[in-house]
Amino acid sequence: MEAESGKESDSPTKGKWTGFFRGIFSREPTATEETPGEDEPVSRPTPTSTNGNKGKPVVLTTVNFSRVVEENPRVVVDFWAPWCRPCRALSPILEATAHRIPDGVVVGKVNIDHQPTLARKWNVKSIPTLVVFCEGKPVDRMVGVIGAEALQAKLTRSFKRCD
């Protein structure tokens, strides 16, 4: 058998996968996709006030994270990503639980793809990660999907540390 050095193969699949991957990795974003820079805030509207948003998560960015956490006595922050199935499973559980949490608790969401600086700052290594803040300080952390009852009990215990 002779070695053919430098000669390209005439395989029928030649270029098939190259074209496939080139199409995935080099495509331009569509008009509906957001493409913020690493620390650039997402262009979604962000509530200016957290009053009266019980059960409705606040989109947190590097611009408003500190203000929301410091101005509200009790905050639950969900670090997530849209491609993460466990994150998508936890989201409705967290929102349903937020309706049963006492008044004054704010639920915030950080999309780690759009806000990687916040993920690094709060040492988020796996998602979903929930960080519970009392008076601006982290008091508890939960990683992974958790059921509604267990989440309610864990949050209740975490917020007792605030009192």
CATH of the domain at 64: 3.40.30.10
The secondary structure element, H or E, covering residue 95 is helix 85-98
Q: What is the pTM for the complete model shown?
A: 0.67
Tell me if 6 is assigned to some domain: no
Print the domain residue range for 144: 58-160
How much is the pLDDT for 10?
52
Q: Which helix (H) or strand (E) holds 107?
A: strand 105-111
Residue 106 within a domain? yes
The string of pLDDT tens digits covering residues 70-129 is 999 999 999 999 999 999 999 999 988 877 776 678 999 999 999 999 999 999 999 999
Residues with a catalytic annotation lie at 84, 87
Residue 97 lies in a domain: yes
Domain tally, the chain: 1
- Cα dihedral across residues 108, 112, 115, 119: positive or negative: positive
Asked if residue 69 is part of any domain, the answer here is: yes
